[in-house]
Copies of this chain bind each other. A is one copy, B any other.
Amino acid sequence: MVISVTSIKEIAALAGVSRGTVDRALNNRGGIKSEVADKIRRIAAETGYKTNRAALGLAARKNPIRIGVILPSEGNAFFEDVIGGVQAAEKEFDDFGVTVLLRTMRGYSVDDQLKLIDELCGEDIQGLVIAPINEKKIAHRLNRLIREGIYVITSNTDIEKTDRLCYVGQDYVKSGEIAAGLMGLVADGRPLNMVIFTGSIHVLGHNQRITGFNLAVKQHYPAIQILDVFETLDQTDTAYDLTMRTIEKYKDLDAIYMTAGGVGGTCQALADSGYAGKIKLFTHDCTSESKPYLQNGVISATICQDPFQQGYLPIKMLFSFFLDKQAPESDHIYTKTDILIREIL
Contacts and interface: CB of A to CB of B under 8 A. Distances in A.
Given A58-B54, A58-B58, A95-B54, A339 B342 contact: no
Contacts of A53: 95
Interface of A: 50, 52-55, 57-58, 61, 94-96, 174, 177-178, 180-182, 185-186, 188, 216, 220, 280, 297, 300-301, 337-339, 341-344
A341 B339 contact: yes
Nearest to A188: B186
Contacts of A188: 186, 188, 280
Nearest to A339: B339
14 contacts: A54-B58, A54-B95, A174-B344, A178-B341, A181-B342, A181-B344, A185-B301, A185-B341, A186-B186, A186-B188, A188-B188, A188-B280, A338-B338, A338-B339
Given A52-B61, A181-B344, A338-B338, 12 more contacts: A50-B95, A54-B54, A54-B95, A174-B344, A178-B341, A180-B343, A185-B300, A186-B186, A337-B344, A338-B344, A339-B341, A339-B344
Contacts of A94: 50
> What are the 7 A-B residue pairs with the smallest beta carbon separation, nearest first?
A181-B343, A54-B57, A54-B58, A177-B343, A339-B339, A178-B343, A53-B95
B341 A54 contact: no
Contacts of A178: 341, 343-344
Contact of A55 (B58, B180, B186, B342): B58
Nearest to A338: B338
Contacts of A174: 343-344
Nearest to A178: B343
A307 to B, nearest CB: 14
A277 to B, nearest CB: 8
A4 to B, nearest CB: 12
A185 B301 CA distance: 9
A174 B342 CA distance: 11
A297 B177 CA distance: 15
A88 to B, nearest CB: 14
Nearest to A192: B188
A195 to B, nearest CB: 18
A54 B53 CA distance: 8
A170 to B, nearest CB: 12
Contacts of A96: 54
- Pick from A58, A180, A181, A343 the residue with the most CB of B within 10 Å: A343
A106 B182 CA distance: 37
